[in-house]
A and B are shown apart, each in its own frame.
Chain A
């Protein structure tokens, strides 16, 4: 282990960030792909960049990789500035959605290609290739050709090649984009396990919220070239810092109104139709204009019209059976629409036109300040 290795260990022990993105800006003509962005990724972390298409996540990944140079700002890795360094010099392995695997080479030859072009000692190279194939569980398929591997096998081959070059930082650009959902579900556990077991650092780009939630230690939610929030999957789900993040991850409905009461337990919000919603949020004062978000699985459904706090009476528009759950779309009396997700085993059987009441617990209300432009805040681009 050289100086770099010792530094890495020290950083890990001290919990220092391994990758620092400082004030990075990248423009393409009139479009700002990344807008003065700052980000720390820790050593040994499985970190995901999540956001709608066109939000700049791939551009950011490419800047970290050294495939593009930012117009402004700096990127540091392991405490040193990497501007102007190639991906190889940065010690990075890159795995794309569309596997950059040579079809005319066997798995072994593909994996050995990395170290051999680096001109390593053949014995060392062989050992590294063997180790890499072992890690991705392809040792017994080393003589197979890529066409016989299947989507997850190809990606494992790509990872092995990156590992064989000695990369400690893996960058994944939609690595499961071309996979069937079932295979994806298996592969994401494998991928995380490889990264964690080997003590690697991973930066993963995806547009798939579920994938991000399951695979990551932390996630950065991006929008329009900026980072909206960084947090663990549960933090993002239960403590979103903005309407955009709350809306982007999971299913949610929003109601807006004014803060009417404040108390020790939280505030009550009056929405259209003189309905009062109790929340556990204490940050607001009387008269504040607020937006209340309720996750669709947190609604509780009753038949008939009920009156009272946190009760939203309405009429069933339609119910859609989606397998593990049923989604009921409800037109509320006050003009809003909400949807309620019920587990299908215990779901109400409702025909359109039936009167129901959706209610929720105060602790399940997510409260936000009413933004300047609510429609724009909720837009998905």
Chain B
């Protein structure tokens, strides 16, 4: 039952508080992913679990037993860190088979597993190469194969696909996920690629300033973010400052950027005069050539149009100085060039509402 638990863990480096009274439980067999901006404690959490860093306060449990004072090699954890820590004087093969060998496992069996893993990470033909002869992406793949070869039940992955191209990343992440599932491993994965996190995870934890601000399954986090930060970190969104102008039967009216009135259906208990931030996902901004007979319609001009594999991304300057970003799936056919006059429509149910943050909007979505 290799579940992993951190209870009230804190860790400072000098005056910087990297981890701030953090508690987290990852269940047996779960694929758990930590996301968040660079430098906010993701890697430190993995290092704490691995035993490479000791907490100042709090306890860490694996299988229900405290491992806080155990060295890394006694924790039964395999890890892949961004800085690969490969043995420079060993070739690809010896790097991979090192773990099974020092544990004196059946040589034939571990050879077979190592070869399979190297094939999986597309290094099966480069077994004689030394790390210095490999590219950054190849070293990353080797580190992954080596961690899997150790046979540990808990796998810690720190940006394991970071320097790989999107295509290999997609295929490797599927393989790793399948392997975790088939072998019943528990994986804790750190990434700042939100698509990767959404695709592979059972649950995701959003980390900011040394704290976990929300944990949930991918769809839940995306559709019901509890904070502006979570909404901004996953996907691309538009943030509009406004005030509640009127409470209506199905929701309320909000005045945006001081001028434009939008109709919103939101279950929140808002009062007239409340200062709010309206969040609209870029893919929920609809664009048409002709004027739609619907609420929340604005006129706008396409300022920039970009093709992003399957989507067109438009930056639009709408009425009243409102800037909006829209993602339109290319299968819908129409596309608009820079300078085109368009109409924008925001569906009232697609607008998320948050109270205006005390620290200000910019701070609330800042990566610092």
Q: Which residues does A use to contact B, with CB under 8 Å?
A: 28-29, 31, 50-54, 58, 151, 174, 177-183, 185, 189, 207-210, 213-214, 233-234, 237, 247-251, 295-298, 300, 320-325, 327, 341, 343-345, 379-381
Contacts and interface: CB of A to CB of B under 8 A. Distances in A.
A234 B236 CA distance: 23
Contacts of B38: 151, 178-180
Contacts of A181: 192-194
Contact of B165 (A53, A324, A341): A53
B283 interface: yes
Given A180-B192, A322-B195, A297 B329 contact: yes
B193 A251 contact: no
A297 B330 contact: yes
Contacts of A380: 122, 165, 167-168, 171
B353 interface: no
Nearest to A28: B133
B135 interface: yes
A214 B283 contact: no
A214 B193 CA distance: 18
A325 B134 contact: no
Interface in B305-323: 306-311
Contacts of A29: 133
A322 B222 CA distance: 9
Interface of B: 37-38, 122, 133-138, 140-141, 163-168, 170-171, 192-195, 198-199, 218-219, 222, 232-236, 281-284, 304, 306-311, 327, 329-332, 350, 367
B167 A248 contact: yes
A296 B310 contact: yes
Contacts of A327: 199
A345 B284 contact: yes
Contacts of B194: 181, 323
Contact of B235 (A180, A248, A324): A324
A52 B167 contact: yes
Given A208-B165, A345-B284, A380-B122, 17 more contacts: A50-B165, A53-B136, A53-B163, A54-B137, A180-B192, A181-B192, A181-B193, A182-B367, A210-B166, A234-B307, A296-B310, A300-B331, A323-B222, A323-B235, A324-B282, A324-B327, A343-B331
A251 B232 CA distance: 25
Contacts of A179: 38
B352 to A, nearest CB: 14
23 contacts: A52-B137, A52-B164, A53-B163, A58-B135, A177-B163, A180-B37, A180-B38, A180-B367, A181-B193, A189-B304, A209-B166, A213-B307, A249-B309, A250-B309, A322-B198, A323-B195, A323-B235, A324-B327, A343-B332, A345-B284, A345-B350, A380-B168, A380-B171
B310 A297 contact: yes
A31 B138 CA distance: 14
Contacts of B329: 297, 325, 343
Contacts of B234: 323
Given A180-B192, A345-B283, A209 B309 contact: yes
Given A180-B367, A182-B233, A208-B166, A321 B309 contact: no
